[in-house]
Amino acid sequence: MSLDATAREANFRDSIKKFFVDTFKRGEKIPLSFDTGLGKPDLKLKAMDKWMSYNWGTLSLGKMSTAFGDVYVCTRRDAEGFKLAQLRDTVVGHLIDTDQTDGMKRIPFYRSYSDQAWDLIGGILVQEIIESAEMKGPDQSKYKILSLKLRFASKV
């Protein structure tokens, strides 16, 4: 017996990755990587003053599944942390939805395919954003970690 599309980790990851690539890399033009922590995306020796990374966390399947992920927002050449504050505001602005009565963002949840158009199967709720303090990296970068609690309905 195969997993329902709503319980497949591959569909969850593809949906999150699509949202982050479409919103931040293509839309906001913020260099983006996945699962690299503080590591910068490879941009062929381009100087980089800001970037972000999405890092996968735990996933707990149930009728209402819970997933966690960390968004590292990073800047360099940012003496007072103002660029970091601006980057954080941009990212958080896309992770909330003031048009919703609860203020929570719904990320489209897709059944992904490698060779055909994806099917929309639901939504992934950004239920909570827990923000770290401003921290300093070993290379004079500054960063914050935005820990996300995500929820979505699953057939398990």
The amino acid at residue 7 is: A
Instruction: State pTM to two decimals.
Output: 0.92
Q: Is the pLDDT of residue 75 over 60?
A: yes
pLDDT in tens, 114-142: 999 999 999 999 999 999 999 998 788 99
At 128, is the secondary structure helix, strand, or coil?
Answer: strand
Tokens of 50: 């800001």
Question: How many helices (DSSP H) and strands (DSSP E) are in the chain?
Answer: 2, 7
Q: Of 42, 116, 47, 114, which is closest to residue 75 (Cα–Cα)?
A: 47
CATH code of 62's domain: 3.30.2000.20
CA 151, CA 131: separation in Å to the nearest integer? 18
Look at residue 35 in the predicted model and tell me its pLDDT.
Answer: 86
Q: How many domains does the chain have?
A: 1
Q: What are phi and psi of 126, to 5 degrees?
A: -85, 95
From 43-47, 106-110, 112-116, the region with the lowest mean pLDDT: 43-47
Domain assignment of residue 132, given as a range: 5-153
Q: How far is it, in rounded angstroms, from Cα 33 to Cα 18?
A: 12
Across 4-155, the runs of DSSP E, i.e. the strands, are 32-34, 50-60, 64-76, 106-111, 119-131, 135-136, 141-153
